[in-house]
Amino acid sequence: MTAEAPIMGRSYDRPASLDNPRSPRRPRRGGFEMAAWVFMRVSGIALLILVLTHLSIMLMIDDGVHRINFAFVADRWTNPFWQIWDLIMLWLAMLHGGNGLRTVIADYSRKDSTRFWLTTVLVVAMVLIMAIGTYVIFSFDPNIKIS
């Protein structure tokens, strides 16, 4: 009586082939992880450009740090260009960092339930911060009275 190896349901569950050990696996195309990998590279380059430009404008032009106050931010956010600039920077930073942390959670959490809850907390925190940040950028009142 010969015992056969158990057959698993998916192609990635099995070795390349038990019947033909030298036959190559069919490469898997696309998927969420590939899109997340590409997003990390593209968003990293975009963030580098956005943040370095932001820092050079804020710290090096005119009087540098000494000119940054409430009036400067109020004047800056009356222009839709800077609102969109800051919004893109906020969203890309949160999605880029959240995706990186999701990868760390997936790599280091041992139990599926731990992975699920940590990822759920991460997604809720990301959505909450992006929603509050978006609200602040677009509802900022430059005419507020400071007393």
Task: Specify the pLDDT at position 21.
Answer: 60
pTM of this structure: 0.73
pLDDT of 91-135, one tens digit each? 999 999 999 999 999 999 888 999 999 999 999 999 999 999 999
Alpha helices in 2-111 (DSSP H): 32-60, 70-76, 80-108
Region for 64 from its dihedrals, namely left if φ exceeds 0, alpha if ψ lies in -120 to 50, beta otherwise? left
Task: Specify the pLDDT at position 57.
Answer: 85
Contact in structure between 52 and 46 (CB atoms under 8 Å): no
Residue with tokens 């790599």: 107
Overall average pLDDT of the 22-51 stretch? 86
Task: Specify the pLDDT at position 100.
Answer: 96
Task: Determine the Cα–Cα distance for residues 142 and 87; give it in Å rounded to an integer.
Answer: 17
